[in-house]
Amino acid sequence: MPYPVVRHRRLRRTEALRRMVRETVLTPNDFVYPLFVTHGENVKSEISAMPGVYHWSVDRLEEEIREVRELGIPAVLLFGVPESKDAVGTSAYDPDGIVQRAIRKIKSIAPELTVIADNCLCQYTDHGHCGVIRQVGGEAVIDNDESLKVLARTAVSQAEAGADIIAPSNMMDGFVAAIRAALDEAGYSHIPIMSYSVKFASAYYGPFREAAHSAPQFGDRKTYQMDPANAREAMREAESDVAEGADILMVKPALAYLDIVRRIKERFDLPVAVYNVSAEYSMVKAAAMRGWIDERAVVLETLTGMKRAGADMILTYHAKDAARWLTGKS
């Protein structure tokens, strides 16, 4: 007797059945919402390349934080746009720096909200690179070890301000070990590190550089960010960060690198984060504004794909919209 044909469509017949057998379920708990905090007062300024995303001054943060909390989003990621920059990014570790003040403000409004502090120098250096520059034979190069000292000092300053997680995005060699050692020595051994373990030298960062005022003034970042063509190297980068004490591993960008997300998820027994970066966001927004796509359907499908690939948390500018769509909150 021949075997019967398996009718896969039986379980797709109604919306209720589809929900019952759904393998990947997206919720607001999956999201981290990035915020750009700037100097000045009474600032709420839309970023032209990222519709719906704003620069906020610290005194205006409360309205944004209350909305994030009401939507059930559990965490925010802070980027600072300081008033002054210099060659070594000293404002990054200023106790009264823009991110430090923002952390304290957010914790006074919503102490239960997880505040993640981005740890990099590109927003704070006048040359826009992620580390300290020195001249070698007439050529400007990143001084890796001097950069680590500034980054470690910045991490301690962020923890002192009340950050719940430090998220180093600089891609210097040994950055996790340096930051872990500095945090431990300063009495912050309980603060986890969300490492940008696999950060590619991507064309998808364009709108972010407008948002963070962090475009490099010369050259590019290909000497320290990863070649988009390399997968085995990504595994080596992640393995190094695990050995150095990372608590969460991140892949950035997300959409073009879901194969890397899956490989890291299968290889390492740590939570995996992905960053749904600025151009991924802006392309969807631009197409939706032209009426070419259904924004809600495309966003939720994309974020579900990231979770299905292995992401335990998704850093995304879509977080507020997606939380509304998932929960029905206005």
Question: Which run of H or E residues covers position 276?
Answer: strand 272-276
pLDDT range class, residue 273, cuts 50, 70, 90 = very high
- Portion of the chain with pLDDT greater than 90, in percent: 68
* Pairing verdict, β 44-46 and 54-57: antiparallel
pLDDT range class, residue 25, cuts 50, 70, 90 = very high
Residues annotated as catalytic (active site), given as ranges: 199, 252
Highest mean pLDDT among 12-26, 27-41, 210-224: 27-41
> So what's the pLDDT on residue 37?
95
* Secondary-structure percent of the chain, ordered helix, strand, coil, rounded to 5: 45, 20, 35
Q: Which domains does the chain have, with CATH numbers?
A: 24-327 (3.20.20.70)
**Of 173, 123, 167, 184, nearest in space to 146 by CA:** 173
Long-range contact pairs involving 254-258 (C-beta distance under 8 Å, separation at least 24): 254/280, 254/306, 254/311, 254/314, 255/204, 255/280, 255/302, 255/306, 256/202, 256/204, 256/228, 257/198, 257/200, 257/228, 258/305, 258/306, 258/309
77's tokens:
């990621």
Question: Which run of H or E residues covers position 194?
Answer: strand 194-199
Q: Which residues contact 318 (CB under 8 A, 6 or more apart)?
A: 276, 281, 284, 299, 303
For 278, list phi and psi in degrees, rounded to 5.
Answer: -60, -45
187's tokens:
């009495």
> So what's the pLDDT on residue 131?
67
- CA 252 – CA 273 distance, rounded (Å): 9
Mean pLDDT of 13-19: 89
> So what's the pLDDT on residue 250?
95
Asked whether the predicted pLDDT for residue 218 surpasses 80, the reply is no
Cα atoms in the 13 Å half-sphere on the side-chain side of 121: 30
- CA 234 – CA 250 distance, rounded (Å): 11
> So what's the pLDDT on residue 109?
95
> So what's the pLDDT on residue 216?
58
> So what's the pLDDT on residue 40?
93
Could you give the angle at the alpha carbon of 242 between the alpha carbons of 238 and 246, nearest 5°? 105
Mean pLDDT of the chain: 90
Mean pLDDT of 117-134: 77
pLDDT tens-digit series, residues 33-90: 999 999 999 999 999 999 999 999 999 999 999 999 999 999 999 999 888 887 777 8
Mean pLDDT of 166-177: 87
Asked whether the predicted pLDDT for residue 139 surpasses 80, the reply is no
Least confident of 55-59, 79-83, 133-137, 218-222: 218-222
- CA 177 – CA 148 distance, rounded (Å): 9
> So what's the pLDDT on residue 313?
97
- CB 124: neighbour CB atoms within 10 A? 27
299's tokens:
């966003």
Asked whether the predicted pLDDT for residue 214 surpasses 60, the reply is no
The pTM for the full model equals: 0.91
Which of 72 and 329 is assigned the larger pLDDT?
Answer: 72
> So what's the pLDDT on residue 82?
84
pLDDT range class, residue 172, cuts 50, 70, 90 = confident
Mean pLDDT of 136-158: 83
- Portion of the chain with pLDDT greater than 70, in percent: 89
**What is the largest distance, in Å, between two alpha-carbon atoms of the chain?**
81
- CA 270 – CA 246 distance, rounded (Å): 9
**Of 195, 172, 211, 178, nearest in space to 252 by CA:** 195
> So what's the pLDDT on residue 219?
52
Mean pLDDT of 151-157: 94
Mean pLDDT of 113-119: 96
> So what's the pLDDT on residue 316?
98
Mean pLDDT of 313-325: 97
pLDDT range class, residue 265, cuts 50, 70, 90 = very high
pLDDT range class, residue 136, cuts 50, 70, 90 = low
> So what's the pLDDT on residue 8?
77
